[in-house]
Amino acid sequence: MSRSSLFAIRQLVADDVDLMRDLLRLLGEVFAEPETYQTRQPGDAYLKGMLDGNSFIALAALADGEVVGGLVAYQLRKFEQERSEIHVYDLAVAEAYRRRGIATGLFEHLKAIAAERGVYLIFVQADYGDDPAIALYTKLGVREEVLHFDIEVT
């Protein structure tokens, strides 16, 4: 667990289902998408399985025991070489706790996990117009211009 004087960061494990649900609530609030993150949450066994595996990473920033920030990511095994990369899927910090280094702290914690696992790269997507996210990611890494496509299954 990483600590600063204002918050602690911890990687969630199988016993942290309640904290994962708190993180889902926070993501729904920050992204103004409660229906996505709260309406049809998976059962406890599903979340335990994700948190117990090695392909899903959930980090929570805690202030006085409350989840005030979080990051969820997937470790992806590559096929062209024996290596893997981490895709940061969601990152959120409660509005009252922004500009305190929480997002950067979450990334630093993730980088330590990545180094421990021998991961060669972390990548993240930002939407046009999300200037705070773009500024953070520019500070942390190299910007690439790419196109993203959502392909519906049905």
Domain ranges of the chain: 2-140
Mean pLDDT of 1-30: 90
**Which amino acid does the sequence have at 48?**
K
pLDDT in tens, 87-125: 999 999 999 999 999 999 999 999 999 999 999 999 999
92 backbone φψ class: left, alpha, beta (φ>0; ψ -120 to 50): beta
Q: What is the pTM of this model?
A: 0.90
CATH assignment of 2-140, among 3.90.226.10, 3.40.50.150, 3.90.180.10, 3.40.630.30: 3.40.630.30
Strands 84-93 and 121-124 turn out to be parallel
Q: What gap in Å lies between CA 78 and CA 69, rounded to an integer?
A: 29
Looking at residue 5, its pLDDT comes to 64
Strand partners, 73: 57, 88
Which ranges of 31-101 would DSSP assign to H, the alpha helix?
Answer: 34, 44-52
| C-beta of residue 67 within 8 angstroms of C-beta of residue 22 | yes
pLDDT at residue 4 is higher than 70: no
